[in-house]
Each structure stands twice: as C-alpha cells, then as structure tokens.
Amino acid sequence: MTKYIIANWKMNMGKQEAIAFVTALGGISIPQEIMGVLCPSFPLLGALHLPPTIALGAQNCSSFGSGPYTGEVSASLLQEMGCAYVIVGHSERRTLLGETSLMVKEKACQVLDHGMTPILCIGEPLDIYDQGRTDVYLKEQLEESLPDRDFILAYEPVWSIGTGHTPRLEEIEAVHKFLHNVLKEKGFAHTPILYGGSVTGKNAREILVLPSVSGVLVGGASVSFDMFLTIIESAT
Ligand code: PGA
C-alpha cells in the first residue's frame, strides 16, 4: 500500500533554505511505495526543481476559477506550475482566515477540475475532543466539505497541530476506521486517510504502521531535512 508523506512547510522556508533542502532531497533514494509530496509557499513553486521521486503540492488555492480576486491563486495556475496536489481546508485557514466548509468544497472541486488531487483536511478542536464528540463533529465537517470525485483525506486534530500532543494510537486508529466507514457510505471506499498533528521522526513509525493510516501530513518537522528524512525512512 502506498504511504503518503506530505510536507506542509506552511509560511516557513526562504528561497535559499528551500533550494538547499531540495538539493539534499535529490541525494536520497525514496522507495517506490512512498509518495512524497512537498508543499512550499506559492512563490517557491516555480523556484524548486524537485527530484522525480517527490511531487509538488500547494498549501491552498482559490475557490474561484479566475478573475478579479486580488491576492488569490487559481488552481489552473497551480497546475501549470507543476503541482499534483493541493491542501484544502487546513485548520489554520479555517480558524484564522474564516474558511467555511463550503469554500473548502469549492476549492477541492477547483483542484479536481484541473487534474490535481485535493488533500482535504478535517479535525476537531479540543473542546469537542474533551466532550467525546469527535466522530459527530468530523462527520459533519467531512459531509459539508466533500467533493464529488477522488481525493485524499487528512485527519488533523486541531489540538494536536504544532503542540507536541497526539491522540493515543488506538484513538487515531478508531477515528480513521470511523472515517473510512463514513467515506464508504458515500462511495469513497478507497480514499486514503492520512494523519496529521505533531508527527515527528520519533512517532512517525508507530503512526505509519497503523493499518488504517495511509500516510502523514507533517508541518513543523518537515522543515528540518534530517527529521523529514527520518519520517520517510519510518514509512518503509
Ligand atoms: P504539525 O502541523 O506537524 O506542525 O503539528 C501539521 C499540519 O498542520 O499539517
């Protein structure tokens, strides 16, 4: 089974650092069963020459096709720049920038319309987790953001992102199984589900061996080349 290792650099990495990272990446061999994806900031998309074993992804795109939308970036341009994947609905965009599930769905459809794969993020905030309402919350968020064609789902508990706290392994497995069942009911029986939230070189292996986990979405740890390499090695 393919394991996805997605690096979400967020608003980190300058041009020189990014080029040095990608040059180092060219020197390592990545097993065929691993799908590595690097998602840098928009201006770096055209500046990085990735090795053939790593795909290019974007962290966001516009929910509109093209036109007078100052500061937005269209899916068609991302496709022209060589992106194969686009992250949509990351919790930082949902919480800090007010993205609704409807906007996320529209973005996912834009990505699909331009031949790329959306990586659709969902996740519950801490109060919902504490109240034991994770499943209900995720189901609703997923149903509202669900595109009509194939995508990759990333389960990222909001309280786990950037905090160093992760759910217990059995909790990750239970949530992924639940999401698999929800997706199956909707006709998406084979959608890969990734885990994201404080994945590091230390915990990647135990998370990646969980049967329902098809990969990881990595933020903070993905800007360190050594840590990213350890995470890739953990997937084999
Ligand atoms: P983190 O972020 O790995 O820094 O917790 C994950 C993400 O936001 O995708």
pLDDT at residue number 1: 84
Q: Is residue 180 a contact partner of residue 212, using CB atoms and an 8 Å limit?
A: yes
Percentage of the chain lying above the pLDDT 90 cut:
99
**Residue whose CA is closest, atom 1 of ligand 1?**
219
3-class secondary structure per residue, 128-180 = HHHCCCHHHHHHHHHHHHCCCCCCEEEECCHHHCCCCCCCCHHHHHHHHHHHH
Mutate to test the pocket of ligand 1, among 12, 156, 216 (most ligand atoms within 8 A of CB): 156
Backbone phi and psi for residue 172, each to the nearest 5 degrees, phi listed first:
-60, -45
Write the DSSP assignment of 84-138 as a string of letters: EEEEE--HHHHHHS---HHHHHHHHHHHHHTT-EEEEEE---HHHHHTT-HHHHH
The Cα–Cα gap between 4 and 6 comes to 6
Is the shortest distance between the CB of 197 and ligand 1 below 6 Å?
A: yes
Instruction: Provide the terminal-to-terminal Cα distance of the chain, rounded to the nearest Å.
Output: 11
Cα 85 to ligand 1 centroid, rounded to whole Å: 17
49: annotated active-site residue: no
User: Could you tell me the two tokens for 111?
Assistant: 């990505």
pLDDT along the chain (236 residues), means of 10: 96 97 94 96 97 96 98 98 98 96 98 98 98 98 96 98 98 98 97 98 98 98 97 94
Mapped onto helix, strand or coil, the DSSP state of residue 74 is coil
Domain limits for position 129: 3-234
Residue type, 219: G
Q: For the chain, what is the domain count?
A: 1
Buried b or exposed e, range 3-24, using 16+ CB within 10 angstroms: bbbbbbbbeebeeeebeebbee
Q: What is the pLDDT of residues 177-226, one digit of tens each?
A: 999 999 999 999 999 999 999 999 999 999 999 999 999 999 999 999 99
**CATH number, domain with residue 124:** 3.20.20.70
Mutate to test the pocket of ligand 1, among 5, 6, 8, 9 (most ligand atoms within 8 A of CB): 8
Ligand 1 atom, smallest distance to 10 CA: 8
176: annotated active-site residue: no
pLDDT at residue number 206: 98
Is the shortest distance between the CB of 37 and ligand 1 below 6 Å?
A: no
pLDDT at residue number 109: 98
pLDDT at residue number 236: 87
Q: Which of 99, 106, 124, 156 is catalytic?
A: 156
Q: Is residue 203 a contact partner of residue 13, using CB atoms and an 8 Å limit?
A: no
The Cα–Cα gap between 10 and 220 comes to 8
User: Could you tell me the two tokens for 198?
Assistant: 């404080």
| Residue 75, H or E segment | helix 75-80
pLDDT at residue number 48: 97
Cα 161 to ligand 1 centroid, rounded to whole Å: 5
Bridge partners of 122, per DSSP, are 155
